[in-house]
A = this chain, B = another copy of it.
Amino acid sequence: MKAYIISIGDELLIGQTINTNASFIAEKLTDININVTKIEVIGDEKSVILEELEHAEKISDIIIMTGGLGPTHDDITLKTIASYFNSELIINQEVLSDIKDFFKRRGRELNKINEDQALVPVIAKPIRNTRGTAPGSWIERDNKIFISMPGVPQEMKGMMEDFVIPKLLEKIESRSKVILKKNLLTTGIPESNLFLALGDLDEILEGAKLAFLPNQFGVKMRITVTSNSQEEAEEKLFSIEQRIRLKVGRFIYDKENESLEEVVARLLMERGLSIATAESCTGGLIASRLTNISGSSKYYQRGFVTYSNGAKVENLKVNEDTIQNFGAVSLEVVRQMAEGVKAVSGTDIGLAVTGILGPSGGTPEKPVGTVYIGLCDEKICTAKRYQFGEDRLLNKDRVSQAALELLRRYLLGISYED
């Protein structure tokens, strides 16, 4: 089955909103082996939407639209769909009662505009919205499926997970080929070095596909295997993964879409270890990532953002002379920060960072992007120097990633070497 995604909204064409919806939908469809052949972004204009629907219907089996279902005057998708199918819009009582419940739960007053959100084309089966007010629509005609969902990400996601994907799975009766995919997530090694470290790709892949997907957090390697049977595909995937791990294993922090903070959270909980953080340049980002995980209070109880020298001395017991002699951005200071935060917090591990993230503040010896990361436990203190780029916000992401990676390697007993 071929799918075509139509993202509707002027805000997308002028670049004010990033199209995360299309990515989410594409990923979910790919997971169930539906092939996304095109993603189209168009404006809130009736004639263009109609044209696009006609084109999409010709070349695909599933057409998924998002956007333009909101309560205000510039939301025209539903009217346009009704007109495409020559179908009337009527108030759906089930949806209306969902909307009333939603407002009751939030303790808000229902207004006329909110009630109008219960309008659904007669031809459509409404898709219920558990996280907002506008319902989606599921329409089938001549063996084609048309799906319309709101553009608000969490509402669309709820509909995809609760309704669209299960219903599409029902529709997929048989599949001729088995396609398996696996992601190997790496960090701390640039794309081209990774490529070279792998050596002869044909030997590793034996006909399978490998894609490199880099961003500031690292490089994701995606393996795609196509085969005649599930068993054969699984075996192939397993051997490929083994061959890759043999070459670059220590850079791989996980094998699915888990974030690095989820990986270290799991390791910390398994080992029953607690950690405290002391951050200068990252300003709390590492703490924030460590507490993104539900249940984080099991391993994380406190952290310090010590931007000023005074804070480092008072809260972390860093020696004033050390700051004087080596500078606040130094191996010596980061080691004392890690040691200090561990001691004052009474945790098993102390993790600390200090650095110059830019755009200003660099010196010839310590240019912008110079960062020190330190990690201490009961017995050993490690501190390491890193060189990152020039962009402040990308650097924050990179530094937090490097700190969590140091922690991961510590927890697994893997060498800290690049």
Provided the pairs A287-B283, A292-B392, A307-B296 are in contact, do residues A18 and B23 lie with their beta carbons within 8 angstroms?
yes
Contacts of A300 in B (CB 8 A): 283, 305, 307
Given A154-B389, A283-B290, A294-B360, 13 additional A-B pairs, CB 8 A: A16-B23, A16-B27, A19-B23, A70-B214, A111-B192, A131-B389, A284-B285, A284-B286, A285-B288, A292-B392, A292-B393, A300-B305, A302-B306
Interfacial chain B residues near A290, Cβ < 8 Å: 283
Bound Cα distance from A211 to B8, whole angstroms:
13
- Give A255 to B296 CA distance when docked, in angstroms: 37
Assess whether A162 is interfacial by the CB under 8 Å rule: no
Asked whether A16 and B213 contact (CB < 8 A) given A38-B40, A41-B39, A196-B113, the answer is: yes
User: Does residue A254 face the partner (Cβ distance < 8 Å to B)?
Assistant: no
- Contacting B at CB under 8 A, from A26-41, are 26-30, 36-41
Q: Does A416 contact B (CB under 8 A)?
A: no
A192 to B308: give the CA distance in the assembly, Å: 44
Digit string of A358-394 for contact with B (CB within 8 Å is 1, else 0)?
A: 1110000000000000000000000000010101111
- Report yes or no: B307 in contact with A284, Cβ–Cβ below 8 A: no
Contact B288 A288, beta carbon cutoff 8 Å = yes
Q: Tell me if A325 is interfacial: C-beta within 8 Å of chain B.
A: no
A195 contacts B71, C-beta separation under 8 Å:
yes
Which A184-214 residues sit within 8 Å CB-CB of chain B? 190-192, 195-196, 201, 209-214
Are A14 and B27 within 8 A (Cβ)? yes
Asked whether any CB of chain B lies closer than 8 Å to the CB of A11, the reply is yes
**Are A74 and B291 also in contact (CB < 8 A) when A16-B220, A106-B387 are?**
no
Q: Mark A32-52, 1 if CB is under 8 A from B, else 0.
A: 000011111111000000000
A320 sits at the interface (CB 8 A): no
Bound form: Cα–Cα A392–B296 in Å: 12
- Residue A396 is within 8 A (CB to CB) of chain B in the complex: yes
Distance, CA A284 to CA B351, complexed state (A): 15
- A302 touches which of B23, B190, B304 (Cβ 8 Å): B304
Whether A222 and B16, one on each chain, are in contact in the complex, defined by CB atoms closer than 8 angstroms, is yes
A86 at the interface (CB under 8 A from B): no
Can you pick out 12 interface pairs between chain A and chain B where the beta carbons lie within 8 Å of each other?
A: A13-B38, A14-B36, A18-B18, A37-B43, A38-B42, A74-B211, A283-B292, A284-B285, A284-B287, A285-B288, A294-B358, A305-B305
Q: Which of A13, A22, A201, A303 has the most CB of B within 10 A?
A: A13
Report, nearest first, the 4 A-B pairs whose CB atoms are least far apart.
Answer: A15-B27, A283-B291, A284-B284, A284-B287
- A271 beta carbon closer than 8 Å to chain B: no
Q: Are B301 and A302 in contact (CB under 8 A)?
A: no
Instruction: Tell me the smallest distance from the CB of A190 to a CB of chain B, in Å.
Output: 7
